Amino acid sequence: MPQLNQLDWAPQIIWLIITFGILYLLMVWVALPRIDAVIDKRAAKIAADLKAAETNKRETEEAIAAYEQALATAKQKAHAIVDEGRAKLKAETDAERAELDQRLAAKAEEAAAEIDKAKKSAMKDINTVAAEAAADIVKQLIGVAPSKADLEKAVTAARRA
């Protein structure tokens, strides 16, 4: 094997040093600056993305706060509208109820007057009917019809008792 021959070691070491030196210089002057530029670009991009993410986060938090504020305001307005509507409806209902109560009270008074009138009429008729029935009964029992004055006295006395 030629690598193990001691006479070939000197030229091999020289070529090793020359090749290593050229590769070292290529790495230092060409490859490493490009790698460093790529790393710097990535770091700058990451920093810009983090800054943009922080800005977006802040804008999102501001938008959420504005949304919550608008929602709270809308809820307050809705409650105010509901309370106003409820109060208006209650006032209308109370007014209608008062009007209805007045109409019902008037009808109740009219009905009571009609009942009282019918009661008085019926009482007059009851006296007449009772007097006629008593006259018929007395006539059938004793065969003689009593006088109207006696019948009215008897019916009045019977109603008081």
- Report pLDDT digits (tens) over 128-144: 777 788 888 888 888 77
Angle (nearest 5°) at CA 111 between 109 and 112:
65
pTM above 0.75, yes or no: no
**pLDDT of res. 126:** 78
Query: Tokens for 65?
Result: 């706060």
Angle (nearest 5°) at CA 139 between 136 and 143:
160
d(CA 68, CA 75): 10
**pLDDT of res. 46:** 97
Residue 151, burial from CB neighbour count under 10 angstroms (0-12, 13-18, 19+): buried
**pLDDT of res. 11:** 86
**Secondary-structure percent of the chain, ordered helix, strand, coil, rounded to 5:** 95, 0, 5
Mean pLDDT of 16-45: 96
**pLDDT of res. 123:** 73
d(CA 86, CA 60): 38
Comparison of pLDDT for 156 and 117, the residue scoring more? 117
d(CA 124, CA 131): 11
Mean pLDDT of 98-108: 93
For the four alpha carbons of 148, 152, 157 and 159, in that order, the dihedral sign comes to: positive
Tell me the pLDDT tens digit for each residue of 35-77.
Answer: 999 999 999 999 999 999 999 999 999 999 999 999 999 999 9
Q: Is the pLDDT of residue 7 over 90?
A: no
**pLDDT of res. 144:** 79
Q: Is the pLDDT of residue 157 over 90?
A: no
Domain extent listing, the chain: 8-160
Block residue for tokens 């040093």: 17
d(CA 111, CA 115): 6
